[in-house]
Chains A and B, each alone.
Chain A
Amino acid sequence: GENVEQHPSTLSVQEGDSAVIKCTYSDSASNYFPWYKQELGKRPQLIIDIRSNVGEKKDQRIAVTLNKTAKHFSLHITETQPEDSAVYFCAASIRANKLVFGAGTILRVKS
């Protein structure tokens, strides 16, 4: 079945710097790649997603890129702020009804 690996497991950046989180997936049939943000004690929240027919998508300070050939996708956060501190999860969907998640990245933004 599908396997998703996520790196790094923890990431510390200075406020204002950029942060990049990378994920790789195993099944070339996967066609949907969402990113979730989870603050401490809260539910995961969908922040951005990308579908296999596009290479990049942006929403204000966040962007996601997809390289289907290499089977990896990345989350980019620019001009990081303290409120960006959270756990971020990537996921991949091989069919329309199931997601496989990465293990998560703890992002700490130091002010």
Chain B
Amino acid sequence: DAGITQSPRHKVTETGTPVTLRCHQTENHRYMYWYRQDPGHGLRLIHYSYGVKDTDKGEVSDGYSVSRSKTEDFLLTLESATSSQTSVYFCAISDGTSFNEQYFGPGTRLTVT
């Protein structure tokens, strides 16, 4: 597996609380991504980063924000968690060469009660 870790691996939180998930890579890859995985929907892109302080929205970005202050770390924040954000969240990385081979982290299971 590529050098990607996610923390925490599991989290239970209450509706309305802020939550931050962390993705850390040791591959020095340029691109980092946050996806959510829900039954019947596959993997849906939330936000991605193409460099330090450079980020862009994916298809399901409402209710989420991201930050990347260092090459190795990409943070996903739920400003005010809702039950619809209960999901498994995966981080992925890519070196940004001409074809987009992405490698995934182990995932974070988030439950919002």
Contacts and interface: CB of A to CB of B under 8 A. Distances in A.
Interface of A: 1, 6, 31-32, 34, 36, 42-46, 49, 51, 89, 91, 93, 95-104
Interface string B32-44: 0000000011111
B11 to A, nearest CB: 16
Nearest to B102: A99
Interface of B: 1, 31, 40-45, 48, 50, 58-59, 90, 94, 96-107
26 contacts: A1-B59, A6-B42, A32-B99, A32-B100, A34-B102, A36-B104, A43-B1, A44-B104, A95-B100, A96-B98, A97-B48, A97-B50, A97-B100, A98-B45, A98-B48, A98-B58, A98-B100, A99-B45, A100-B45, A101-B42, A101-B43, A102-B42, A103-B40, A103-B41, A103-B42, A104-B42
Contact of A93 (B59, B99, B104): B99
B39 to A, nearest CB: 9
A100 B97 CA distance: 17
A49 B101 contact: yes
Nearest to B107: A43
Contacts of A91: 43
A43 B105 contact: yes
B49 to A, nearest CB: 10
